[in-house]
Amino acid sequence: MRRLVLPLSLALLSACSKPPAAPEAAGGGGAPPPMPVQLLQVQAQAVPVLLEAVGQLEGLREVEVRARVGGILEQQLFQEGQSVAAGTPLYQIERAHHELAVQAAQAALLQAEAQAERAGSEQQRAARLLADGMVSASAGELAASQLKAAQGQLAAARVGLREAQLNLGYTRVLAPINGRVQRNLKSLGSLVSPEGEAALLTQIVQTHPIRVRFALSEAELRQLGRTPRLQLLDASGQPLALEAKLDFAGSTVDPRLGTVPMRAELPNADGRLLPGQTVRVQLKLGEQPGFLLPQAAVLNGEQGRFVWLMKEGKATPQPVQTGGWQGDQWVIRGGLSGGDRVITDNLLKLHPGAAVAAAAPASAASAASAGAAP
């Protein structure tokens, strides 16, 4: 038994005295290397103070073209979408019925003139007889009243002729304003009338100059100066090279939306802008110190907008206060200091405290790869 116990004790002592196991080969564990990121070191600069709103374009004047007399629509004298001047013929309504009405009114006028002339003669005769005592005073009064009635009928006949002539002129429908004719709403051969929907023929919209309607909140309105500079942006965010001028500011607040209606006017000689189009309206109120960052560098979180900063080799989220857009960059009003290093790529891979390192500029990296031995 002694021979068995002694070797076993020696084996246990040798096992307890073994050195710790060597670490695993590199790559099997341990901390990952810092993530390479592009950095932008920001410096304060003068940036514009902007108010931004969504606006909708509308024509300077938008007029419905309606038939003022009834009849069959015989001719369409324009092309849809054509630009026309005020007074340009647009439609022709049948004339025959209205020509007959003019002739009838002329005949009625001749008859009224004859009656008025006869009544005048009768009144003069009655006046002479009354002066000679040949007729009673009532006869003289009757002749005078008949003359007045005849004169009234003559005036009515003249009005009737003028109305008939106007209706004949209305058979040729003219453009009431300068502008672009919209879609034709009545086919040739349709019966039109001066009342209801049957009267509506088309619409003319004057698009030069053109207007944009938008609204500002009460707080934004208090910031607005007397002569703010307006800049319009299209749907893609590109500025329109047109100078807009504020021509209307509402004096009441919409109780449902809490906003004040505004309107601006701008030139549109080339017809590029169309009524109904949505644009972004920027009002420049002045300048103040701030920072400009690329769009991709500013993220949205539960606590609002933030950016990633590199501090002591680690990614750190930093809340910021934005102030609108300048071109394709965010205007940062608060949250940053001059010299801060903002991370601009690999943003979705970051988390607080992640190890990061400044990546080599793209130009330097490409030069190094080009000079490497094959």
Angle at Cα 193 formed by Cα 105 and Cα 103, nearest 5°? 15
Provide CB contacts within 8 A for 48, sequence distance 6+: 284, 285, 286, 287, 326, 331
CA atoms of 33 and 361, how far apart (whole Å): 19
First to last CA, the chain: 71
Please give the pLDDT value at position 104: 96
Q: Residue 37 phi/psi, 5° resolution?
A: -135, 155
pLDDT in tens, 195-254: 988 899 999 999 989 999 999 988 888 877 667 788 888 877 778 877 888 888 888 888
**Which H or E run contains 363?**
helix 362-371
Distance CA 218, CA 257 (A): 10
In the numeric block, which tokens belong to residue 10?
């020696």
Tens of pLDDT, residues 263-290: 999 998 888 888 999 998 888 877 888 8
Q: pLDDT tens per residue, the chain (374 residues)? A: 445 444 444 443 444 444 444 444 444 456 688 999 999 999 988 887 778 889 999 999 999 999 999 999 999 999 999 999 999 999 999 999 999 999 999 999 999 999 999 999 988 888 888 887 777 888 878 888 999 999 999 999 999 999 999 999 999 999 999 999 999 999 999 999 999 888 999 999 999 899 999 999 888 888 776 677 888 888 777 788 778 888 888 888 888 888 999 999 999 888 888 899 999 888 887 788 889 999 889 999 888 899 999 999 999 999 999 877 777 788 898 899 999 999 999 898 899 999 999 987 654 333 334 344 43
Tell me, what's the pLDDT at 361?
Answer: 61
Q: What is the mean pLDDT of the chain?
A: 84
What does the alpha-carbon distance between residue 316 and residue 320 come to, in Å, rounded to a whole number?
Answer: 13
Beta carbons of 217 and 271 less than 8 angstroms apart: no
| Nearest alpha carbon to residue 333 among 271, 268, 280, 285 | 285
Q: Helices 96-132 and 137-169: crossing angle, nearest 10°? A: 160
Distances from the Cα of 256 to the Cα of 56, 217, 259, angstroms = 19, 12, 8
Q: What is the CA radius of gyration of the chain?
A: 44
pLDDT over 70, % of the chain: 87
β-strands 71-76, 191-192 pairing = antiparallel
Residues with Cβ within 8 Å of 336's Cβ and at least 6 positions away in sequence, in order, are 42, 291, 307, 318, 320, 342
The pLDDT value given to residue 21: 44
* Two structure tokens written together for 234: 């299209």
Hey, what amino acid is at 268?
N
- Amino acid type, 63: V
Domains defined for the chain, CATH in brackets: 66-93+171-205 (2.40.50.100), 96-169 (1.10.287)
Pairwise CA distance, residues 284 & 267, whole Å? 19
Question: Any idea of the CA torsion for 330, 54, 179, 246, to the nearest 10 degrees?
Answer: -80
Distance CA 374, CA 245 (A): 63
Instruction: Give the pLDDT score at 11.
Output: 45
